[in-house]
Amino acid sequence: MPTTYTGTETLRTTDASTADADAIDAALAASGDAHAFERLYRRHVNRVHNLVRRMLGEDAEDVTQEVLVRAWQKLGTFRGEAAFGTWLHRLAVNVILNRRTSRGRWRRLFVEEPEGGLDRPGRPASPSHGLDFETAMARLSPGARQVFVLHDVEGYRHEEIAGMLGISVGTSKSQLHYARMALRKTLG
């Protein structure tokens, strides 16, 4: 009986070989092999950068580097129970959330908000002034953007998001709804 090729065999093999390579390189890097860490860096830097850019909207290069430096420092805590990419992603989310918290504290100390509050960005005057998706996401409130990225982009469940952000599940759902409605309005 002839075998039909569906295309998923290569994807599975590539995913498995990447996971194996990550596990080997993570063990080598944890023992001090800088070349192994460089290979990990090259395989994962784009995904980390995209996550940072989507969640923070600014300082993406600096925070991406901070995540990867922190990964180098904490490689000894990687136990291999999950894929290295999963471990790195979770580390990145933690660094991003810490950055948002500390940045918010500094802003409250040094930035005065106008009495009437900050103006919300409005809808573009004409279609020629339309926005791309990344710009529209950057205009969301920080809480709504975090929940949107974690839920709709990264695939976390509301329970996980609530635990990460220290909010209730209902707040997570509410922020996601707000984010989707704001994106719909902004993007038309």
Task: Please write the tens of the pLDDT for every residue from 47-92.
Answer: 999 999 888 877 789 999 999 999 999 998 998 888 899 899 989 9
pLDDT at 124: 45
State yes or no: pLDDT of 137 exceeds 80. yes
State yes or no: pLDDT of 146 exceeds 90. no
pLDDT at 123: 45
pLDDT at 125: 44
State yes or no: pLDDT of 143 exceeds 70. yes
pLDDT at 72: 93
Within a 13 Å sphere around the CA of 113, how many CA atoms are in the beta-carbon half? 9
- Residue 52 to residue 44: CA distance in whole angstroms: 12
At 80 the three-state DSSP class reads coil
Give the residue, 131 or 12, on which the prediction is more confident: 131
- List the domains of the chain with CATH numbers: 18-113 (1.10.1740.10), 125-188 (1.10.10.10)
At 162 the three-state DSSP class reads helix
The sign of the dihedral angle between the CA atoms of 123, 126, 127, 128 is negative
State yes or no: pLDDT of 170 exceeds 60. yes
State yes or no: pLDDT of 10 exceeds 80. no
pLDDT at 133: 79
- Residue 6 to residue 59: CA distance in whole angstroms: 41
The 10s digit of each residue's pLDDT in 14-37 is 566 777 899 999 999 999 999 999
Query: For 159-164, which contacts have Cβ atoms below 8 Å and span 24 or more sequence positions?
Result: 164/93, 164/94, 164/97
Give kind and range of the element (H or E) at residue 132. none
